[in-house]
Chains A and B, each alone.
Chain A
């Protein structure tokens, strides 16, 4: 059974600090996705990582993928309050044509002044 584990599940940060969210998964996969969810809202796609060593950056967020270690990281640089949200990683563990994603439980990030 494919498992996707995120840690930490809760993260309280001060503005201006750096931190990393980790996403481990239990089977081989070449595709990994990061999503953001604001309270009461739907999920917004942040990054799609399609190969080993892939790195993508958008603003203060940078995501990377190591398929050999089955690990993705979401690094937050100089956090600001607007980044407060829940972040999910997801893995395409089935391949084929279904595109079924397995989601982690999410990391709830709170950035405090």
Chain B
């Protein structure tokens, strides 16, 4: 069966510091992968998606970047965090029916 992992689970970072969040998927090959952000009490905002290694599409301009160095690894990064980057970051992979399965999430607080 497929499993999706995210780490870290929680993170507190000062403004201006770098960020690296990691997502890995097990049990499937060549999945579509997604990064979302959910601000407190809000809906989901799609940040990036990837249909293959090295292929990244961005949905909104922002302070973040994404990379997919391996088939089942998706990384979200920033060189300098802003206060507005705080939120709950969710990684997801899509099945052949495009049903998305979400990881446990990373709660990021920028101070």
Contacts and interface: CB of A to CB of B under 8 A. Distances in A.
Interface of A: 31, 33, 35, 40-45, 48, 50, 88, 90, 92, 97-101, 103-106
The range of chain B's interface size is 20 to 34
Nearest to B104: A42
Contact of A100 (B49, B103, B104): B49
A18 to B, nearest CB: 25
Interface string B71-111: 00000000000000000001010100111111111010000
A101 B90 contact: no
A99 B97 CA distance: 8
Given A43-B90, A45-B100, A99-B32, 8 more contacts: A33-B100, A42-B90, A42-B102, A90-B100, A98-B57, A100-B34, A100-B49, A101-B46
B102 A31 contact: no
Given A42-B90, A42-B104, A43-B90, A106 B43 contact: yes
Contacts of B32: 97-99
B99 A48 contact: yes
Interface centre among B42, B90, B99, B102 (most CB of A within 10 A): B99
Interface of B: 32, 34, 42-44, 46, 49, 51, 57, 59, 90, 92, 94, 97-105, 107
Contact of B43 (A48, A98, A99, A104): A104
Contacts of A99: 32, 94, 98, 100
B97 to A, nearest CB: 6
B42 A105 contact: yes
Given A98-B32, A100-B49, A45 B43 contact: no
Nearest to B43: A105
A1 B51 CA distance: 22
A42 B105 contact: yes
B9 to A, nearest CB: 11
